[in-house]
Copies of this chain bind each other. A is one copy, B any other.
Amino acid sequence: MSKACRIMIVEDEPKLSSLLHDYLTAAGYETALHADGNKVVESVQAKPPDLMLLDLMLPGKDGLSICREVRAFSNVPIIMLTARVEEIDRLLGLDLGADDYICKPFSPREVVARVKAILRRIAPQDGGSAPILLDPDRFAATHAGKPLGLTPVEFRLLTTLAAQPGRVFSRNQLMDILYVDHRIVSDRTVDSHVKNLRRKITDAGGNEEWLQSIYGIGYKIEW
C-alpha cells in the first residue's frame, strides 16, 4: 500500500471528526483521531503527523496550549478549527504559528481543499514521503541513492505522475503533457514507457506496484 499523508484530527464532536475522517480518507489521506486534548502532544512527539486539524475548544487540554506546545518542537502544519469568526482575529494576534484557521460551521470539502493547499505548499521540502527523488535540474531520478537512468520521456512521465500521487491520469492527459506539440501517437506508446519505467524502478530496488494502472482509466503513482 501507499504511504499517504497522516492527518491528525483533534476534535471532541464525534460527528464532526468522523465526517472529517471520511472526507480526508476519500482524498487519500490517513487519519489519527483524538477526542480530547490530553495525549495529543505526546502523540505528536511519538508519531508526528503530516498535518494537524486542531479544534480550539476541547475537553482536557485546550487547542491553544496544544498549539504552543507542539510549536515548541515541531513545524508540523496546523489548521485551527474555531467556533466563531471573531476568534480568528484574536488567534492571529496571539501569533501561535498555526498555518490556517477555519471557522465552524465549515464544509468538509473546504477543509480538504485547505489541507491539500497546505500540503502542496510544503510538498517540495517534504522529500521523505516519496521513495524516488526527482531532480529536474540535474535531470536525475534516484531511489535509495541509485540512479534510475531514465530517458527524457520516462523522466517527464514520472515527474508528471509523481507531482500528484494518487491522482489517476488518462493516457490522453499523459500524452498531452508528454508532448507539448500535440503530436498524435498511439495509446500503447504510453504503456510501453510505463513498462520501461517500471523495469528501471524495480531494477533500482523500488516496488513495481508504485506505478499502478487503473483498468479502463489510466495510470497513477501511489506511495
Q: A interface vs B, CB < 8 Å? A: 2, 19, 21-23, 25-28, 45, 48, 72-76, 94-95, 105, 107-110, 113-114, 116-117, 120-121, 125-126, 128, 131, 133-135, 137-140, 142, 144-145, 151-152, 163-164, 166-168, 170, 172-173, 176, 214-217, 220
Known: A73-B120, A138-B168, A152-B216. 20 other contacts (CB 8 A): A2-B105, A23-B128, A25-B133, A26-B140, A26-B145, A28-B140, A45-B120, A45-B121, A48-B113, A72-B163, A73-B116, A74-B113, A75-B109, A95-B173, A107-B128, A137-B164, A137-B166, A137-B167, A137-B168, A138-B166
CB-CB nearest in chain B for A26 = B133
Residues of B within 8 A of A144 (CB): 22, 25
Complex Cα–Cα for A137 and B165 (A): 11
In the complex, 8 of the A-B residue pairs with CB atoms within 8 angstroms, ordered by the A residue number, are A26-B135, A48-B114, A72-B164, A73-B116, A74-B113, A94-B176, A139-B214, A152-B216
CB of A126 within 8 A of CB of B109, answer yes
CB-CB nearest in chain B for A103 = B3
Residue in contact with A151 in the complex, picked from B76, B95, B164, B216, CB distance below 8 Å: B216
CB of A128 within 8 A of CB of B108, answer yes
Residues of B within 8 A of A76 (CB): 113
CB of A72 within 8 A of CB of B120, answer yes
- A116: min CB distance to chain B, Å: 5
Residues of B within 8 A of A48 (CB): 110, 113-114, 117
CB-CB nearest in chain B for A152 = B216
Complex Cα–Cα for A19 and B134 (A): 14
- A50: min CB distance to chain B, Å: 9
Residues of B within 8 A of A121 (CB): 45
Complex Cα–Cα for A133 and B19 (A): 11
